Structure 1
């Protein structure tokens, strides 16, 4: 019996090392520029099967070690009762130290607290890309360039804003260049947390035909992105996340203009460009996105956005069109994404606990993220176009 425990310990560690190598390979596949998305998914899915098998092997080794420890304790009781207290304690400690690592030591081996390593959240390739997946689920974040999503490390997200600037003028040769004056202000947002816990029984996780752990994590992430999108577009007043609709410039079309057209988008683009902005995205309510997709040029019958094979739904005036159910009906926003900032205090992360409901054999999945506001450098950077009600 004494020779079995080190063997099981070595077996668990070997399985975890192989798992780590496969995780690294999954990351390499994800980053490979020469593979298509379909090829990446196929390879990662194959690797994920092996990752799950190796983790199961390590868990089984731990469980066997715990059973051996229990048997060893029971069979050694008669001899232990005959020993002195100090001797019994020393030998008992040595016996346990020769067995498998404790649960906390096992968790440390698989880096359960490190999202980039995956831990209990399978597969690790998904767990390491939560912020990328969040952007993929969020119509608002997809419309922003990477530099507009700003990490910060305090309770408050402060965005400097130029209030006014004076002093620029023509200067004669040899004359002193006059001093200008810039007045700066700031907009502050308090970090606010988005979070949710989902419970699942061990039986559901074991018997599911799909990777239920990964499915739960993805659903939590989707729900977080939906909550953020709702406030990023329409948040106002006491809402902790202020939206673009409450900060941009709104234009309501005249009576009879019941849909927003490509001509209206052209006007909004011009208004942004007039302030030296660079329009980069169009966000549209579901009904207006549908209307833009079906709009045809007068007299030709051709789609304004191009022929169907050219994906007319994807662009307008060279800008991506991103539909969102969180925009009010008959609403389109044309924006310069580089002039919009979103504060990320803590990236979205999913953690798993197998202890909180230990007595009912349930596993808890917890998603949390902290964000702080949506800030426009100037109101003209977001042009809100609303169709007439009648």
Structure 2
């Protein structure tokens, strides 16, 4: 009798059931009653496969085959030290964790998709929702860098010597280059909600999806705000912070940003070898640009006819409107020179244990974003109209 094969087969069956347990726990469309009933059934299956695996090992030990079987299985059934040595003791503890140990395992694990509590497909789905909801991230060409570890450094060439003419037979002068690094330190954005089981069970809408959508919207709004106005202290550094881009403050009397100012910014960005790709505008300045006419109040609209999609663009660039920009502000930028680091995707998790005594469910959303940097301040022109 091949006891090793029997034990491994039982463990594989158990692993499949544990995977299904995770899926049921993460299923936002199942009712609590359905989940409870299904989890009880799966729990009985886990117990059965655990018993089968233990029985196979015990029978193998009685025939003095357990250790040789474990060695051929690569230490699956018997614990091993870091050097691969077989050790006696609590070998079943790590192999078949109890309910409490399984709960701790789920809480402590943190794969790049956001933890075992959130399937990769769900995490990716909500990242896309966040991108769609963020006016900043909507800009075509914004560099989003994914990375591992505590921080991220993006090398940047800040200068190099200019080559010259070399005479025939003469030595070629050695050139030099100067490098710097754009450092990204991750910031965690998080949101937390609770809902009673009565509300979840009695609501006419799918409350889990609704709460997840609200949390995603909240994260998107906050990240969007900080990408534009963040101070860099316990939050992202925004494009409007001094030194990040090139500030253009209009003189007194210029209370709105006009297309002349946008065209000037466009030309300035081209002057440093960059390619303008987006116009971000606060709602008041977007309105002013869209309604600007050739002859003051009675000419054609400079942004195009009101029936044209040109009202969503200007000078060939998409015109994106965000209430998260300061009033009287327009930004013209080459988005390919803007860099954002992402340490981990949006993760939406749910716990029925944290508020167990209140018969409530806790919902949590987290998103770790690492900094915002512009590799050349001249590629981002921040135009600010005068207050008077």
Work out whether the TM-score is over 0.5.
yes
Q: What does residue 139 of structure 2 align with?
A: 143
CA distance 1:360–1:245, shift in 2 (3 Å): same
Q: What does residue 339 of structure 2 align with?
A: 341
TM-score, normalisation: structure 1: 0.69
**What is the CA-CA distance between 1:319 and the residue it aligns to?**
1.0
Alignment equivalent of 2:281, drawn from 280, 284, 288: 284
CA deviation profile, 1:105-132 (whole Å, cap 9, x unmatched): 89x9xxx99997999889x976541211
SS of match in other structure, 2:183? strand
Q: Is the 8 A contact 1:115 1:127 kept in 2?
A: no
Q: What does residue 370 of structure 2 align with?
A: 372
Q: Is the 8 A contact 1:352 1:364 kept in 2?
A: yes
CA distance 1:214–1:170, shift in 2 (3 Å): farther
Which structure 2 segments of 5+ residues have no match?
1-16, 45-97
Q: CA RMSD in A?
A: 3.7
SS of match in other structure, 2:236? coil
Which structure 1 segments of 5+ residues have no match?
1-12, 21-47, 68-100
CA distance 1:159–1:63, shift in 2 (3 Å): same
Aligned length: 313
Q: What does residue 52 of structure 1 align with?
A: 29
TM-score, normalisation: structure 2: 0.70
SS of match in other structure, 2:224? helix
**What is the CA-CA distance between 1:309 and the residue it aligns to?**
2.1
Q: Is the 8 A contact 1:189 1:373 kept in 2?
A: yes
**What is the CA-CA distance between 1:155 and the residue it aligns to?**
1.6
Q: Is the 8 A contact 2:245 2:380 kept in 1?
A: yes
Q: Is the 8 A contact 2:156 2:179 kept in 1?
A: yes
Alignment equivalent of 2:219, drawn from 221, 224, 248: 224
Q: Is the 8 A contact 1:117 1:128 kept in 2?
A: no
Q: What does residue 192 of structure 1 align with?
A: 187
SS of match in other structure, 2:347? strand
Q: Is the 8 A contact 2:123 2:346 kept in 1?
A: no
User: What is the CA–CA distance in structure 2 between the aligned matches of 1:249 and 1:387, rounded to whole Å?
Assistant: 14
More helix by share: 1
CA deviation profile, 1:284-309 (whole Å, cap 9, x unmatched): 11210111122222276322221222
User: What is the CA–CA distance in structure 1 between the aligned matches of 2:280 and 2:360, rounded to whole Å?
Assistant: 41
User: What is the CA–CA distance in structure 1 between the aligned matches of 2:263 and 2:151, rounded to whole Å?
Assistant: 37
CA deviation profile, 1:48-81 (whole Å, cap 9, x unmatched): 9xx93699756544457899xxxxxxxxxxxxxx
Alignment equivalent of 2:202, drawn from 198, 207, 210: 207
